[in-house]
Amino acid sequence: MKNNYITFSKNIFIPVTNICRNGCEYCGFRARSPDDAYLISLKEFLALIKDNGAATEALFTAGEKPELAKLASFFKQKILDYGYSSLIEYTKELCKLAIKHGLLPHCNLGVLNREELKELQELNASMGLMLETVAEVRAHKHSPGKVPVERLKMIAAAGELKIPFTTGLLIGIGEKPVDHLRSLEAIKSLHDKYGHIQEVIIQPFIPKPFTPMWNKRPPSFEELRKVVRAARAILPEEIAIQVPPNLTSPKELIELGASDMGGISEKTPDYINPELPWPREEELRRIVAPYELRERLPIYPRFIKKGWYSKELSMLIEKYADEDGLRLRR
């Protein structure tokens, strides 16, 4: 590991909408009917960010292309009721409000085209999209947005636009061990070309009730160990290997090359895995000891030094970052 510290960020997790065009067989986040569908209102959003505590990141997640989902009519009516015409337009407004409240946005809205990335770029410190796997798996048979070539295309477009980017692998959804290596090599190839990947998440599949994969066993810890070890061997040292501390036991994975714990929130749950709470900061410090725990921003230090951010974000970044590009100690 390059540094003698482990990084994490403090965020507020904002689920913009759970309406999604994909039908992944492991997903418990996607709305199944109008009864459990939602689009966050401005009032609900402002209540989340008004008292953001020590958080510096607004993590925006959403179902992919809700305008094309089975519940598209519900979404379209809701967004019109709010006075907007699309998910991108509405999320841009939310990003502007987040910045005014001292938060640096990071959007992960599923597959976006180049024009949509450009629209969001000036209002985001970084952006993300999980590659998940380059394999064609049964779990994605009803998910047009999970075609590997489409996801790689978006990651490449983000590189062309110089957007600091987060991606990752989802382990245990029907892929084979060789697919882990192929996925990591694909990420490395894009980073070699564009230099924009800041972190790669190694995330285990967690079975969710009322989904087709409820009875499927999650990956073993030994499998996660192998993927983290492979990631550290394949990816350039400057790319952080992230392991979510609420989904696995990270200590041994740190010894194998993991160097980041991702974002944790004191105010909001992990809406993708709400049954698994994040550790508090002090607990996280104990988990990573004897390594020092250092807070970072949603944009990694080397991209701050490169100036890969817009003038809309410069005041907050200069306020929060120390001389090394990490969170200024309070």
Whether residue 84 is contained in a domain is answered as yes
pLDDT exceeds cutoff 80 at 52 = no
β-sheet bridge partners, residue 220: none
pLDDT band for 266, please (50, 70, 90 cuts): confident
Tokens for 158?
């983000």
Q: Are 50 and 81 in contact (CB under 8 A)?
A: no
Structural domain count of the chain: 1
Model-level pTM? 0.96
Query: Average pLDDT in the 11-29 region?
Result: 97
Helices 114-121 and 87-100: crossing angle, nearest 10°? 20
Whether residue 140 is contained in a domain is answered as yes
pLDDT band for 249, please (50, 70, 90 cuts): confident
Whether residue 10 is contained in a domain is answered as yes
Query: Average pLDDT in the 112-132 region?
Result: 98
pLDDT for residue 53: 75
Residue 12 three-state SS: strand
Residue 168 three-state SS: strand
Residue 251 three-state SS: helix
Helices 87-100 and 311-320: crossing angle, nearest 10°? 40
pLDDT for residue 325: 97
Sheet strands (E) in 162-288: 165-171, 197-204, 240-242, 260-264
Whether residue 216 is contained in a domain is answered as yes
pLDDT for residue 322: 97
The helix (run of H) or strand (run of E) holding residue 16 is strand 5-17
Q: Are 212 and 173 in contact (CB under 8 A)?
A: no
pLDDT for residue 151: 98
Pairing outcome for strands 5-17 and 260-264: parallel
pLDDT exceeds cutoff 90 at 33 = yes
pLDDT band for 267, please (50, 70, 90 cuts): confident
pLDDT for residue 51: 80
pLDDT tens profile 164-219: 999 999 999 999 999 999 999 999 999 999 999 999 999 999 999 999 999 999 99
Residue 195 three-state SS: coil
Residue 174 three-state SS: coil
pLDDT tens profile 126-175: 999 999 999 999 999 999 999 999 999 999 999 999 999 999 999 999 99
Residue range of the domain that includes 143: 5-320
pLDDT for residue 1: 44
Whether residue 328 is contained in a domain is answered as no
pLDDT for residue 329: 84
CATH of the domain at 196: 3.20.20.70
pLDDT exceeds cutoff 80 at 2 = no
Residues 246 and 305: their CA atoms lie apart, in Å, by 31
% of residues, the chain, pLDDT over 70: 99
Residues 60 and 272: their CA atoms lie apart, in Å, by 12
The helix (run of H) or strand (run of E) holding residue 294 is strand 292-295
